[in-house]
Amino acid sequence: MGVFKAVVIDKTDSGQHVELKMVDDADLMDGDVAVRVSHSTLNYKDGLALTGKAPVVRRWPMIPGVDLVGTVESSSHPDFKLGDAVILNGWGLGETHLGAYAEKVRVKGDWLIPLPKGLAPHQAMAIGTAGYTAMLCLMALERYGLSPDRGPAIVTGAAGGVGSVAVALLAKAGWHVIASTGRPQEADYLKNLGAAEILDRSELSSPARPLNKERWAAGIDTVGSHTLANLLSMTKYAGAIAACGLAGGMDLPVTVAPFILRNVALLGVDSVMTPKPRRLEAWRRLVNELDLDKLASMTTSITLNQVLEAGRAIVEGKIRGRVVVTIT
């Protein structure tokens, strides 16, 4: 393939310009594995990059897209050979390294993991960084020693990508799940994923008191700001919140009270630079623990030329669940 299709973001005097265009192989960045991309996905971070709402892109021009699944076309890396099916999540893809919204990428083999047995390529991208992050959050809560017998677990941004998978995973693991959302019309959707209660996000969006009534033992937060502060103020003694998102803001207006009076823990979860052993564990568990029928029920598909429109929609909170981008 001498040239290939890709979504390209470039700087302009007024901000940035996004277009679907042909790119030459010679423009690919350094790497020891070339991959023909079959599918990608749409995450909130991708929406921020596509719209320029946040400084996600740090190299110009940039092909966005932080997730991919595809087939190895050439490799000098000892772990991968021609024809291998592989996944890539993060490692600066779509931020500092040309990303996944393209028919071809060249990347470092150390960033790749094999496509797990039992997952089709489109299912792997229905999970994507969002679902993989949800599993990392569950693993963080478990490492802290929390289990369903301690009390309920809350998920914020529950109708979004991370939130939808988190609800399904927590419910499958036996948790009583409280799903917080600003979209009451999604109540049936969330209950079908396993939510036992629906909480309007307005209950968590005002400035938090230092301590509130204890309501949950654990939580997965995708919002940040006042929402996360409220979660912490309502967490039961020796509970924990896994924080992985900032849809509501990067600030955290909280006091030390939950930490020093209730022994509450705030667990930060990063998916971009997660070491390979933990990545492999997360993907292994997703294959075994995520109900693929529920995954299908939360997933829609788009083509490469619909990515910009979908990116605007996800930033505006109009996307439910997961979106798979079919590349080839």
pLDDT digit string, tens, across residues 74-120: 999 999 999 999 999 999 999 999 999 999 999 999 999 999 999 99
Quote the CA–CA distance of 229 and 111 in Å, as a whole number.
34
* Whether residue 246 sits in one domain with residue 136: yes
CA angle at residue 16 from 13 to 22, to 5 degrees? Answer: 120
* Whether residue 262 sits in one domain with residue 139: yes
Position 99 in a domain: yes
With b for 16 or more beta-carbon neighbours within 10 A and e for fewer, the 86-98 pattern comes to bbbbbbbbbbebb
| Nearest of 149, 56, 49, 34 to residue 103 by alpha carbon | 34
Q: Where in the sequence is the domain holding 252, given as residue range(s)?
A: 129-268
Helix axes 121-143, 161-172, angle to 10 degrees: 60
Position 250 in a domain: yes
Which pair of structure tokens corresponds to residue 294? 């529920």
Residues 276 and 109: beta-carbon distance below 8 Å: no
Position 64 in a domain: yes
* Whether residue 85 sits in one domain with residue 203: no
CA dihedral of 89, 93, 98, 103, whole degrees rounded to 10: 20
Position 287 in a domain: no
DSSP string, 138-207: HHHHHHTT--GGG--EEESSTTSHHHHHHHHHHHHTT--EEEEES-GGGHHHHHHHT-SEEEEGGGGSSP
* Whether residue 317 sits in one domain with residue 241: no
Quote the CA–CA distance of 324 and 40 in Å, as a whole number.
6
* Count of domains observed in the chain: 2
The domain spanning residue 308 has which CATH number? 3.90.180.10
Could you tell me the maximum CA-CA distance found in the chain, to the nearest angstrom? 62
Name the 3-class secondary structure at 312: helix
Q: What is the pLDDT along the chain (328 residues), one digit of tens a residue?
A: 589 999 999 999 888 999 999 999 999 999 999 999 999 999 999 999 999 999 999 999 999 999 999 999 999 999 999 999 999 999 999 999 999 999 999 999 999 999 999 999 999 999 999 999 999 999 999 999 999 999 999 999 999 999 999 999 999 999 999 999 999 999 999 999 999 999 999 999 999 999 999 999 999 999 999 999 999 999 999 999 999 999 999 999 999 999 999 999 999 999 999 999 999 999 999 999 999 999 999 999 999 999 999 999 999 999 999 999 999 8
Quote the CA–CA distance of 43 and 86 in Å, as a whole number.
19
* Whether residue 258 sits in one domain with residue 145: yes
Position 194 in a domain: yes
Domain C-terminal end among 268, 290, 310: 268
Position 40 in a domain: yes
* Whether residue 163 sits in one domain with residue 233: yes
Amino acid, res. 268: G
* Whether residue 140 sits in one domain with residue 106: no
Position 241 in a domain: yes
Quote the CA–CA distance of 135 and 156 in Å, as a whole number.
15
* Whether residue 319 sits in one domain with residue 197: no
* Whether residue 195 sits in one domain with residue 98: no
Quote the CA–CA distance of 125 and 122 in Å, as a whole number.
5
Amino acid, res. 61: P
The domain spanning residue 233 has which CATH number? 3.40.50.720
CA dihedral of 131, 136, 138, 141, whole degrees rounded to 10: -160
Domain C-terminal end among 268, 289, 315: 268
Quote the CA–CA distance of 134 and 127 in Å, as a whole number.
9
Cα dihedral sign for 228, 46, 272, 293? positive
Beta 235-243 vs 33-41: how paired, if at all? unpaired
Position 57 in a domain: yes
* Whether residue 236 sits in one domain with residue 167: yes
Question: What pLDDT is attached to residue 1?
Answer: 54
Residues 106 and 23: beta-carbon distance below 8 Å: no
Beta 322-326 vs 85-89: how paired, if at all? unpaired
* Whether residue 106 sits in one domain with residue 23: yes
Residues 113 and 280: beta-carbon distance below 8 Å: yes
* Whether residue 134 sits in one domain with residue 110: no
